[in-house]
Structure 1
Amino acid sequence: MHTLTLTLSLLHGIIVCSGESPLSRLILVSFDGFRADYLLNHSFPNLEEFISDGVLVKDVENVFITKTFPNHYSIVTGLYAESHGIVANAMYDKDTNLTFRVTDISSKTNPVWWNEATPIWVTNQRAGQKSGSAMWPGSDVTIQNITNHNFLPYNSNVPFEERVNNITSWFTRTDDPINFATLYFEEPDKSGHIYGPENKNMTDTLNNVDKNIGYLVAKLKESKLWDTVNVIITSDHGMAQCSEDRVIVLDGCIGRGNYTLVDSTPVAAVLPLQDTKLVYNLLKNCSDHMTVYLKEDIPERYHYKHNKRIQPIIMVADEGWSIVQNASSNVSLGNHGYDNSLRSMHPFLAAHGPAFHKGIKISKINTVDIYPMMCHILGLKAEPNNGTLSSTKCLLADQWCIHVPEAIGIVLGGILVLATISCVIIMLLKQKMPIPRQFTRLQFQDDDDPLIG
């Protein structure tokens, strides 16, 4: 049943959400590019069973830009990209003259890019626990002089099952078991780029994702972890359908000697080589299907201007459009990175375990809210972050909140609206009605009245 979560102070006395304290063990799983509405358009029997015995957040608003590395680091730090420093999948730092590329192992494992924030696995190990990771972005990097106790460097050739097997063995070993792990898988993102999210070929990919979830659950049960380990399944972003007919060609409006393209479609980062305003004006008039910003004019809602790695000019393509330098450039049929207010960019979150309720569904949280929730489950003191625990507390078994079935919520809402309207009408009538004369009771003498002597 769909649920409407109410946290009204006037109903503070009605508490239905208390539970036993969870064991402090957690697995965080990301299926890259798992768009939230895939849940509505495809069948996921294993995931649906997982959700029925746990909780679901139908829509997670992620951080700008909606790309893989920024959002995976936001999940584990609770910070916007401008605060944690991983502002894109491709970056340039003018102070160090260093370039970051996700395809370049030496650059993406350089701690200088990651040290501006503290991921949860570092906090966990500073607290005396052990962390592990199977291919989560940044998990193989020594951050603030601390490395995951166990980790698998990214290798797309390693099957999902092998990644899961490693993690469960780290939890169940008698010598130095871990209490926290992150697990990454590159699908359905990989196929989404090739086919686009609306293509029928995605059906097989999504079926395989569900099979992987089934394997994860089966392995946890086999390892006797299912009832004691908390599991969060989520993603970094969604996916938009693109087309070779919706392309913005930069060579048609600006010469390459004017700029360096630091990061590409659909949010392109530009380092001007000529006067910044000149380059900006040329780009601004390039297409009606993208918005060009000077760094200082980037909207506050993006939380994406206060970092030196954000370039002086960024271009944000409209949903489904691609930015390329020349007309012969390859165009993906699916892409992400667009405005994070777009529903197509949003993932979901599902969770199961002793820390969570059963059968609860809520509408929305932000990606940065996942971090404080995980710290709460693990009993860790959270680093300063942009999230809030209150957004997720109705998912947690040990937190106070009210879950009201949707039908009851609609009735209560209707009653509140009617009551408000009635009060307004009464107040208006009182203002218009004349003030009545004071009523004076007539006094009669009565021989039977004991007060009359």
Structure 2
Amino acid sequence: MVLNPYKKFFTLCTLTFTVTFCLQLDPSEVLLVSFDGFRWDYIYKFPTLNFHRLIEDGVYVKQVSNVFITKTYPNHYSMVTGLYAENHGIVANEMYDPVLNKTFSMDTLDIYDSEFWEEAVPIWITNQNEGHKSGVAMWPGSDVNISGVYPSFYLPYNELVSFEYRVAKLIEWFTSNEPINLGLLYWEEPDDSAHLLGPDNPFMSKVIKEVDEKLGYLVAEMKKAGLWDTVNLIVTSDHGMEQCSSDRVIELDNYVDENLYTLVDRSPTVAILPKEGKLEDVYEALANAHPNMTVYKKEDIPERFHYIHNSRIQPILAVADLGWTILQSRSGGYLEGNHGYDNTEPNMHPLLLAHGPAFKRNVTKEAMNLTDLYPLLCHLLDIQPLPNNGSLSQVQDLLASTDPPFLSNYVDPESYASFVGVFLGSVLALAFLLIFIKHVTRSQMSAPEVEHPEITQPLLDV
């Protein structure tokens, strides 16, 4: 009996590719949700049934240590880059870049100037560069042309667009013929209301209840669309919130001439650009001006802030104590609630909840760093993270399995060696198959008579 080459070829191919691809873990789908300004302890201060249900069914990190300064744009960009503000370049909500000679403000179209965003690459671009699709609903920076790239699907920012519509678009993108594997969703509350009311105001109970209902709506829609058991949902925020008071206001006009400087970013962390030749005058006037305000020259900013090494950080930085407000004058606009304080202050911290096939259930962790979220996202998506300030090892205890994906997400020589070994093994196996086919085909073209046919019988019945 002559061996059937095609049957043997099929068997060897099956074995080769089964071994190779069984080593791979299918990259999972991820939806990251940010409720702006959701302080870590709101779930204890106000009724939050849906948040607590998610805690019982997933993982819960009580406090997330965010990056300085504790404001919206710096922290949302840290979530999707894993970098401190000094490294990703979005150092504040209001900025001046002396190299570009340009300003950046949430109140103007300056925020769409791509040059401000291109010191880092957000995760939606990395995800798309690896052949996947991303869908982003209102996330800060997502409607900016960063390095010539937008998300695969996105909604241009418009705070009038309802939460329900944003959810509907994400569900649509996750369930389309060419689905996304990464979704990001941003919602302005409870930040907007807490600025006006202050987090200690009794009316915040209604605001937090509405946010809780939004979360419940999202979960219900994911279940309805068949996504609840397949998509890894992560819910977090950019910062917390502190109650302020008109009795705790520091007026810079009482200490320094306003004509000597420009106020770039505002309370409670104030970025000051002195006029040419006036740095020492401004610094000396403010250094010991008020016991609840700490003033630094740029080079003296504490290293723990990771807030020195960028040209957009101004020569003088004034930081108010928790609950205090720094204004140029009383006419500068006072808020009942604010954030932007020292990032070691617990009231500046958000929480993090997660549910999905990649996560454990009913597990609580005391704390994590916001920068660790990025390597976690890359791990879940099975994409290679760019250099970052986070660490996957700090959050691996949240995962149901700590086995790394086939294409390692870590800069680990052993992981690369494993990948190269499997790859080379597959190449050698394919080369062997091609030689084998060529040899058997030639043998069949002029097959000799077999004197001892039992020798040609396969050892295994294939």
TM-score, normalised by the number of residues in structure 1 = 0.82
1:200 aligns with 2:194: no
Show CA shifts across 1:74-126 (max 9, x none): 01100000000000000001111100001212x11111011100111010000
Structure 1 runs (4+) deviating above 6 angstroms are none
Distance of aligned partners of 1:117 and 1:385 in 2 relative to their CA distance in 1, 3 Å threshold: same
In structure 1, the residue matched to 2:393 is 390
Q: 2:82 aligns with which of 58, 78, 86?
A: 78
In 2, Cα distance between the equivalents of 1:21 and 1:318? 48
Q: How big is the shift at 1:398?
A: 1.3
Amino acid at match of 1:343: P
Q: Is the 8 A contact 1:22 1:355 kept in 2?
A: no
Deviation of the 1:380 alpha carbon: 0.7
CA distance in 1, matches of 2:31, 2:126: 15
Partners of 2:348 and 2:118 in 1: how far apart?
27
Q: Match of 2:159?
A: 156
Unaligned runs of 5+ in 2: 1-23, 404-462
- Is the contact between residue 192 and residue 202 of structure 1 (CA under 8 Å) also seen in structure 2? yes
Match of 1:54 in 2: 58
The answer as to 2:214 corresponding to 1:212 is yes
Matched, 1:293 2:296: yes
Question: Whole-Å Cα distance in 1 between the matches of residues 147 and 27 of structure 2?
Answer: 28
Query: Does the 8 A contact of 1:23 with 1:229 survive in 2?
Result: no
Distance 2:240 2:283 in 1: 29
Match of 1:64 among 57, 62, 68: 68
How big is the shift at 1:47? 1.3
Q: Residue 262 of structure 1: SS of its match in structure 2?
A: strand
2: distance between equivalents of 1:259 and 1:153?
35
Q: CA deviation at 1:186?
A: 0.5
8 Å contact from structure 1 (residues 23, 354) kept in 2:
no
Q: What residue is the counterpart of 2:362 in the other structure?
A: 359
Q: Distance in 2 between matches of 1:97 and 1:367?
A: 30
One-letter amino acid of the structure 1 residue matched with residue 47 of structure 2: S
Q: 2:399 matched to 1:373?
A: no
Change (3 A) 1:48 1:22: farther
CA contact (8 A) 1:23 1:228 kept: no
One-letter amino acid of the counterpart of residue 96, structure 1:
L
- Are 1:36 and 2:47 matched, yes or no? no
Fraction of identical pairs, as percent: 54
In the alignment, the residues of structure 2 paired with residue 278 and residue 394 of structure 1 have an alpha-carbon distance, to the nearest angstrom, of 51
Looking at structure 2, the residues matched to 132 and 150 of structure 1 have their Cα atoms a distance apart, in angstroms, of 5
CA–CA distance in structure 1, aligned partners of residues 337 and 314 of structure 2: 25
Aligned residues: 380
Q: Show the counterpart of 1:321.
A: 324
1:242-263 deviation per Cα after TM superposition (whole angstroms, max 9, x unaligned) = 0011000011111111000000
Q: What TM-score comes out, normalization by structure 2 length?
A: 0.81
- Give the structure with the higher percent helix: 2
| CA displacement 1:407-433 (0-9 Å, x = unmatched) | xxxxxxxxxxxxxxxxxxxxxxxxxxx
Deviations 1:293-345 (A, max 9, x none): 00000000000000000000000000000011112332101000000000000
Partner SS for 1:328:
helix
Q: Report the counterpart of residue 188 of structure 1 in structure 2.
A: 190
In the other structure, the counterpart of 1:439 is none
